[in-house]
Amino acid sequence: MQKKNSATIYDVAHRVGVSLATVSRVVNGNSNVRDSTKRKVLDAIEELGYHPNAVARGLASKKTTTIGVVMPDITDVYYSELARGIDDVANMYHYDVLLTNTDEDPVRETMAVNNLASKQVDGIIFMGNELDHEVVNTISGVNAPVVLAGSVDSEKKLPSVNIDYVEAIKEAMEAVIKNGHDRVAIVTGPVEHAINGMHRLVGYKKALEEAQIEFDDSLLFSTHQDYAAGLQVAEKILATGATAAITYDDEVAVGIMNYLRDHGKKVPEDFEIITSNDTKFTIITRPQVTSIGQPKYDIGAVAMRMLTKLMNNETIELTQVKLPHTLERRGTTLN
């Protein structure tokens, strides 16, 4: 049973017979301390079970060694992978992480950012699909650097780490078009959302254009982000005569696939599917789901690394980072 709380830097100083400053120096690894006194201080720290009070330190130094992470939902495997990348790098640089779930509600996002600011975090990583104008405003007003991870603001004012969503969807489209499909459903989140809506649609249309296929908006579907939604939308997709689908969410993709197979369709022979996030869901199903491959962990890790530089006032050459994506061909596509 170690000592409860108590011991302060003053106790240590007093015990050794030196000043607060000296103790502070050894604690902070300042070299200007004679080895012998350093040892004595260290011993006293050990004996008293002294642990620096980070709050006091934060007040005095104006650095909390804490960053804020704002994310839609910790149970969403896509975002939790990013968060893991963030956390690992954060720890590497000795930062702790204050985590907030927002469910992509702009009101809660704004509150979260303001709250983190009042807690004096040294920086913030923000994740979310739609960057509401007000949210961008709030973020810009915060007195701490902010980096977007897996998110974009349309004005590209904020530093961010992403993949090229437009290009990724375009490539996925090209893959199915090459397989002879000309009626390809595109399943997105709310269309007004940047990544899950707009960006994907742009990539989709680009591919159509290059293949000289007319855009048909009856092939555009917008759903909730879960398995049940996939089950539901599948029927509607089938009704349009589509023979392939590109989806924004892996659970939705699996829902569509399962519905199709339950209704006598063969995947991929009768219907091809490509999804976007390459989460575990795409691996455990039979067939496995072809997906755009995203370096999820790395997106988080790189964003966090960027944030450390920003917090350190280093200048950053490239603030709009695009990490490479792939196409992971699995069982829901031919070839």
Partner in contact with 10, chosen from DNA, a copy of itself, none, beta carbon below 5 to 8 Å by kind: DNA
What residues between 102 and 131 interact with a copy of itself by CB under 8 A? 114-115, 117-120
* Residue of 21, 74, 228, 283 that binds DNA (CB under 7 A): 21
Does 34 sit near a copy of itself (CB under 8 A)?
no
Tokens of residue 247, six digits: 């989806």
Partner in contact with 81, chosen from a copy of itself, DNA, none, beta carbon below 5 to 8 Å by kind: a copy of itself
Of 14 and 84, the one with the shorter C-beta distance to a copy of itself is 84
DSSP H helical ranges for 74-225: 77-92, 106-118, 133-141, 165-178, 200-210
d(CA 2, CA 76): 39
Is 74 in a helix, a strand, or coil? coil
The phi and psi torsions of 274 (rounded to 5 degrees) equal -130, 130
CA 204 to chain centre: 23
Residue holding tokens 């969410």?
Answer: 249
- Residue 44 CB, shortest distance to DNA, in Å, is 12
Which stretch, 13-21, 31-39, 234-242, 275-283, contacts a copy of itself (CB under 8 A)? 275-283
* Residue of 251, 272, 278, 328 that binds a copy of itself (CB under 8 A): 251
What residues between 225 and 284 interact with DNA by CB under 7 A? none
Which stretch, 19-27, 266-274, 305-313, 323-331, contacts DNA (CB under 7 A)? 19-27
Does 108 sit near DNA (CB under 7 A)?
no
Compute and round to an integer the Cα radius of gyration of the chain: 25
Size of the site for DNA (CB under 7 A): 29
Which stretch, 25-33, 140-148, 156-164, 206-214, contacts a copy of itself (CB under 8 A)? 140-148
Of 21 and 99, the one with the shorter C-beta distance to a copy of itself is 99
Does 92 sit near a copy of itself (CB under 8 A)?
no
* Residue of 43, 49, 59, 92 that binds DNA (CB under 7 A): 59
The string of DSSP codes covering 150-190 is S---TT--S-EEEE-HHHHHHHHHHHHHHTT---EEEEES-
CA 79 to chain centre: 5
239 Cβ contact partners less than 8 Å away, ≥ 6 residues apart: none
**Angle of CA points 76, 153, 276, to nearest 5°:** 40
Amino acid at the residue 308: T
d(CA 92, CA 77): 23
74 near 132, Cβ under 8 Å? no
Which stretch, 148-156, 187-195, 279-287, 321-329, contacts a copy of itself (CB under 8 A)? 279-287
- Residue 284 CB, shortest distance to a copy of itself, in Å, is 5
List residues near DNA by CB under 7 A: 8-10, 17-22, 24-25, 27-28, 31-34, 36-38, 50, 52-53, 56-57, 59-62
